[in-house]
Structure 1
Amino acid sequence: MKSILLHIDHDKAMQARLQVALDIARATNGHITCLQAISYEVFAPGDFYGSAIAAAMPVIKENAEKLRAEIERELEHEGVPWDWRFVYGIAPHRLLEASPLADIVIVGPAEAGSDGRGPSALVGDVVLKAPVPVLVVPEGTKSFDVGAPMLVAWNGSSESAHALRAAVPLLACSCKVMLACVVEDSERARFDLPSTEGARYLSRHGIDCEIVEIPRGEAAVADTLFSAAQLRDCGLLVMGAYGHSRLAEMIMGGVTRRMLSEPQMPVLLAH
């Protein structure tokens, strides 16, 4: 992951994803591009003449400049190459514009000003539309060890295959990779791609993996996957993202939505 696109904002997970970006950059000799977007989409009901926007923008800009100064001071002492892009516009749009020449986009699970519980519309837009994998880093993440075990959620779909392929640069650094299926016996025949195909693909990249079949219990699939990853001391969970762009503000639904509502570790997604 040589080109790392990092979303800069005031949300609660900012420091967590900054640290993860630094850890990945050090491990891969990568470069961090910090993208900070300010939107004019600030309004009050009935504010037809834009007076609320005019009053709010100086404060928003001042807060953005303070955040930039704080993060730049941190980056100056980290020994990692980086650059800063300050742009006007809606953050997901600007991230998507910058993503074609990135290897990974790093975001938080919830937007600034929220209660910290995701998922956010930003995550939905970027995950479903970006041509590169998106790493969602929850608040409280202290570091990211690329050599730690990693778990790939597999259900035989094209989305899970896309996520597996996108994660190869990180999986190649891991000491142990597990391909995990959470499925009932009656569902196995419905897999378009069996887990053995995923394992075969990884082997061609020199990556050995263990195929893990997890019985479907009473817990939600997302909770089962997090539990399986934590039990195996994994530092990353990889999965395919499901949904439609027109529903991005609701972020997909189903397992993906639950996975990102309260992520318990960094989650790498691809659609």
Structure 2
Amino acid sequence: MKSILVHANDDSSMEARMQVALDIARASGGHITFLQSVSYEVFAPGDFYGSAMAAALPQIKEAAEEFRAKTETDLANEDANWEWKFLYGMAESRLLEQSALHDIIIVGPDDVGEDGMHRPSAMVGQLALKAPAPVLVVPADTKRIDIRAPILVAWNGSSEACVALRAAVPLLSLASEVYLASVSEPNDKNRADFGADEAAEYLSRHGIRAEIVEIPRGEAKISDTLFSAAQMRECSMMVMGAYGHSRLAEMLLGGVTRRSLTDPQLPIFLAH
């Protein structure tokens, strides 16, 4: 992962994703772009002439400049290559545009302005579905990431899981152990997909040895079962295909992706 794009925003998980980006950059000899995006699209009910928006602009600009100055001071002594890019507009749109020439996008688990709401981020969902680069979601309590630590791949044989596996190869090649974890479900036999053995064979062609782990379906949610399996094996992150069902089904019924993003227990590497 030589080109790393980080969402720079003053929220509770900024420090976490900054440290994770630095860890990945150091391990890979990569370069980090911190993208700060500020939207002036402020809507105030009844403010037909934009007076409230005009009054808010100086405060918004000042807060953005203070955040940048503070973060750049923190980064000044870090032994990694980085740059700061400032763009006007919605963060989701600007990250999507800039991702075309980046290998990975690092974001927090919450939407802008919804810090700590514990619900799936719409921005993360859109980036995972539309961006040409994979997305790494970093929870606020992440102190750092050991790039040599084990990694768990949530495997269900879907095309989305295959895409995520391929995208994660640069990181999987650095991990001390790779676990292909499948949670058994009653309807598994009716699916025409790729078995874990095929995924392991694919990784072997890249010089990566993977251990297949089959987990019985218990009473817990699949997302919780996968998080527990990853934590038991001291994994640094979990790789998973994003939104294996239709997005509408995920919104209405929930799904492993949606539940995992509601309260991520460790960094989640997503691709669709």
TM-score, normalised via structure 2 length: 0.95
- Please state how far the C-alpha of 1:115 moved relative to its aligned partner: 4.3
Establish whether residue 210 from structure 1 lines up as the match of residue 192 from structure 2: no
Q: Which residue of 2 aligns with 1:73?
A: 73
Alpha-carbon distance in structure 2 between the residues aligned to 1:163 and 1:26: 23
Establish whether residue 88 from structure 1 lines up as the match of residue 70 from structure 2: no
State whether residues 38 and 91 of structure 1, in contact with CA within 8 Å, keep that contact through their aligned partners in structure 2: yes
Matched letter for residue 33 of structure 2: T
State whether residues 7 and 35 of structure 2, in contact with CA within 8 Å, keep that contact through their aligned partners in structure 1: yes
Q: Which residue of 2 aligns with 1:223?
A: 224
1:1-50 C-alpha deviation (Å, 9 max, x unpaired): 00000000112100000000000000000000010000122111222221
Q: Which residue of 2 aligns with 1:7?
A: 7
Q: How does 1:9-48 map to 2 (within 5 A)?
A: 9-48=9-48
Work out the number of aligned pairs and report it. 271
- Please state how far the C-alpha of 1:266 moved relative to its aligned partner: 0.4
RMSD: 2.0
Q: Which residue of 1 aligns with 2:263?
A: 262
Alpha-carbon distance in structure 2 between the residues aligned to 1:234 and 1:161: 20
Matched letter for residue 103 of structure 1: D
- Please state how far the C-alpha of 1:261 moved relative to its aligned partner: 0.6
SS of residue paired to 1:179 = strand
Alpha-carbon distance in structure 1 between the residues aligned to 2:253 and 2:185: 23
Percent of pairs identical after alignment?
64
SS of residue paired to 1:229 = helix
SS of residue paired to 1:160 = helix
Range that drifts further, 261-270 or 70-79? 70-79
State whether residues 109 and 138 of structure 1, in contact with CA within 8 Å, keep that contact through their aligned partners in structure 2: yes
Rate the CA distance shift 1:42–1:244 in 2: closer, same or farther, 3 A.
farther
Establish whether residue 165 from structure 1 lines up as the match of residue 166 from structure 2: yes
- Please state how far the C-alpha of 1:95 moved relative to its aligned partner: 0.3
Q: Which residue of 1 aligns with 2:150?
A: 149
Alpha-carbon distance in structure 2 between the residues aligned to 1:92 and 1:115: 16
SS of residue paired to 1:110 = coil
State whether residues 243 and 252 of structure 1, in contact with CA within 8 Å, keep that contact through their aligned partners in structure 2: no
Alpha-carbon distance in structure 1 between the residues aligned to 2:165 and 2:125: 19
State whether residues 37 and 90 of structure 2, in contact with CA within 8 Å, keep that contact through their aligned partners in structure 1: yes
Matched letter for residue 27 of structure 1: A
Matched letter for residue 188 of structure 2: E
Q: How does 1:109-188 map to 2 (within 5 A)?
A: 109-116=109-116, 117-184=118-185, 186-188=187-189
Gaps in structure 1 of 5+ consecutive residues: none
